Amino acid sequence: MSHVEAKAKALFTEIFENEPQLTTIAPGRVNLIGEHTDYNGGYVLPCAINFHVVACASPRHDSKVRVISANHHNEIDEFQLSNNIAASNKLWANYVRGVVQHISLSGHNISGVDMVIYGNVPQGAGLSSSAALEVSIVSSFDQLYSLHLSDTDIALIAQQAENQFVGCQCGIMDQLISTNAKVGKASLIDCQSMQTKHVSLPDNFSLLIVNSNKKRGLVESKYNERRAQCEQAANKLGLSALRDISLADFNRQQHILDPIIAKRARHVISENERVIEFVEAMSHQDIHSMQRLMKQSHESMRDDFEITVPEIDSLVNIIKSEIGDKGGVRMTGGGFGGCVITLLPTDYVDWITSVINSKYMTTTGLIPTIFVCSAVQGVHSKHSNIASYTSRFVS
């Protein structure tokens, strides 16, 4: 049992004076390549990582949902099941409320729950702590009330909650990888059809995630603006989504777009082609091509999509200057801060870690946080052996 799971279960037992009937574990994710392509119907290549949100829950016999967040000083949120749940002044609680509302709106018959949530996915780092939270909650209701939801169903409900209740217009990638990831694999996701192909990571390579500790919040950032710009480009080009045009065809038509809108579209269209090329290279363990494509991806995010920041660019340059063509490095996540992902030979991890620690603070004044990650499975649940649950609450 992980520390995260043990803490969540202990807190549940302490507060509710019962063991939870269900423990649900949902991972965060890192995206190897394919940024801001998901909401444009394109391709992405994420993998789930060994950071999780854990939800411990038991069903109630009434319509009350009572949730405690161990990450927020054991704050409590209580509300009644409804198709029109009011927003909370606590941001974390709105992810819960949005998910529960959209389960109800999907026509599923549920009752209330007592729940404790706790996670170690770094928040504000672009590793999808919000999707892990959403997926853990949907999955908990699915298991407790036998809703028989598929991985895609769970992901769609979680996405709807974030889009329509929280207000961040994210695509489906974060939620879908949290539901259907496989151990040791990255997942090529077609965000239009939601079909997934699992692809093995290269032998003897590690995923090094470096949090720049330049904080960003997607809802408050220009994320939604970028999405609107992509939709504007697609409409002007007569497309349902930017994935429906090749880069060659776009280059012939881009003159009809405003120059800024054209830059945004160029990133998405070229990034889609890079994802497909990257999967092919990865299947042949062609590290040189993978490195080149990650470099091009970062440059496109920096120059055309304009979502990197000086701290992120500095971090990428520090790492690239050391590993050269032995591995790839790029910003990952929504942008405006957060993390970079490095795919590098395992033998290089200690050396690169020491270089980052020595140079990044000198350059930026920030202290990086470095994680060596593995690719893990998607959401899964553990049922307890207790026969019944009586709801209690200790103030």
Closest Cα to residue 117, out of 84, 99, 92, 97?
92
Question: 105 among the known binding-site residues?
Answer: no
Judge whether 258 counts as a catalytic residue. Answer: no
Question: 241 among the known binding-site residues?
Answer: no
Question: 36 among the known binding-site residues?
Answer: yes
Rounded Cα–Cα distance for residues 132 and 113 (Å): 19
Question: 58 among the known binding-site residues?
Answer: no
Question: 208 among the known binding-site residues?
Answer: no
Question: 127 among the known binding-site residues?
Answer: yes
Question: 78 among the known binding-site residues?
Answer: no
Question: 55 among the known binding-site residues?
Answer: no
Question: 35 among the known binding-site residues?
Answer: yes
Question: 139 among the known binding-site residues?
Answer: no
Rounded Cα–Cα distance for residues 345 and 383 (Å): 39
Residue 312 to residues 37, 213, 302, 307, 356, Cα–Cα distance (Å):
20, 9, 10, 10, 12
How is residue 92 written in tokens? 């974390």
Q: Which is the catalytic residue, given 114, 151, 174, 304? A: 174
Residue 353 to residues 30, 267, 349, Cα–Cα distance (Å):
18, 30, 6
Question: 38 among the known binding-site residues?
Answer: yes
Annotated binding site for substrate: 35-38, 223
Residue numbering of the annotated binding site for Mg(2+): 130, 162
Residues with a known catalytic role: 174
| Binding positions | 35-38, 69, 124-130, 162, 223
